[in-house]
Amino acid sequence: MEIKTIGVVGAGQMGSGIAQVAAMNGFEVIMNDIKDAFVDRGFSAIEKSLVRMVKKEIISEARKGEVLGAIEGSTSVEDMTKADFVVEAATENEALKLQIFTALDQACREGVILSSNTSSISITRIAGATRRPELVVGMHFMNPVPMMKLVEIIKGLATSDATFETTRALALDMGKTPVPANDFPGFISNRILMPMINEAVYALFEGVGTPEDIDQVMKLGMNHPMGPLALADLIGLDTCLSIMQVLQNGFGESKYRPCPLLKKYVDAGWLGRKSGKGFYTY
C-alpha cells in the first residue's frame, strides 16, 4: 500500500513532533487526541517549532504554512479510516495502549500498519489486542522528534518482514535513521538509558551531588550533550518511572528498581519541564 496519509494518535510532545516531521516530508497527517484542547496544544507546539525554524532561516514563512496545512486535527478514532499508516504516541500506559490498538484495529482499513511509539512496552503484547498482529510494529522516535535522527524499529513475535521493511522505509522517507531492535523490555535505547538516569537519581537521593554537579560531571566527563537529570526532566519523570517499572517487571531484577526519590517526585506532580518543576525549575 502506498503511504500518503499518516495518522498520529496523541498530540502531546511526541505525537505533535511526529506529525510535524511527517508533514515536513510530504505526507498528509491526521493528528488525533481525545479533546480539542489537546489537539490545539499540539498545533501550537508545531507552530512554535516552525517559527523557530523560520527565524533560523531553515524554512520560509510560506513553507511553514504548507506544513501546518498538511495536518488535520481529529478527536475521533474513526478519522483513522483515511490513514495509510498509523503511529500511536499516547501516554506510556499499557492498558491505554491496548485500548487504543483495539479501537484502531476496528477503525483502520485492511492492510494498514499500526505502529506504536512506545518506549518500553512489549510490541507482541500490543499486537495481541488486534486481529492484525502481523501488521503491528514498534516505531520508537526520540525526543525532540524534529531534531533527533534515530527511530528504533521493533518487531513483535508476529510482525511480518514486509511490515518491518515498510516501516523502515517510511522512517527513511521521514528523514530518520532506522535501527532494528528486538522486542525486549526497553528495547535498546531505554534499556541502557533509563538505568543510567535512575542511578543519577540515586546519586542525588544519597547526597553524592547536587543536580547541577551530577549533570556537569556527565556533560564534561562523558561528553554527554545533556546531563541525565536534565534529560529526565525533558522526557518526563512519570515516563521515566513507567519505563523503569516495565524493566523491573519484565526482567525481575533488583537493578531495575526505580529510585524512591523518582517515585516521590512523580507523586508530588513534579514531572519535569511539562509541569514546570522536576529536578530543575522551569
- Active centre residues (catalytic): 119, 140, 152, 190
Helix, strand counts (H, E) of the chain: 11, 8
Residue 183 contacts residue 122 (beta carbons within 8 Å): yes
* Interatomic CA distance for residues 3 and 90, integer angstroms: 22
* Interatomic CA distance for residues 135 and 204, integer angstroms: 43
Question: Among candidates 35, 33, 1, which has minimal Cα distance to 19?
Answer: 33
Residue 201 contacts residue 195 (beta carbons within 8 Å): no
DSSP-derived 3-state class of residue 281: strand
Phi/psi zone of residue 10: left (φ > 0), alpha (ψ -120 to 50 degrees), beta? left
Specify the DSSP class assigned to residue 163: H
Q: Which grid cell is 257?
A: 528498581
Residue 62 contacts residue 20 (beta carbons within 8 Å): no
The alpha carbon torsion through 246, 271, 198, 243 (nearest 10 deg) reads 10
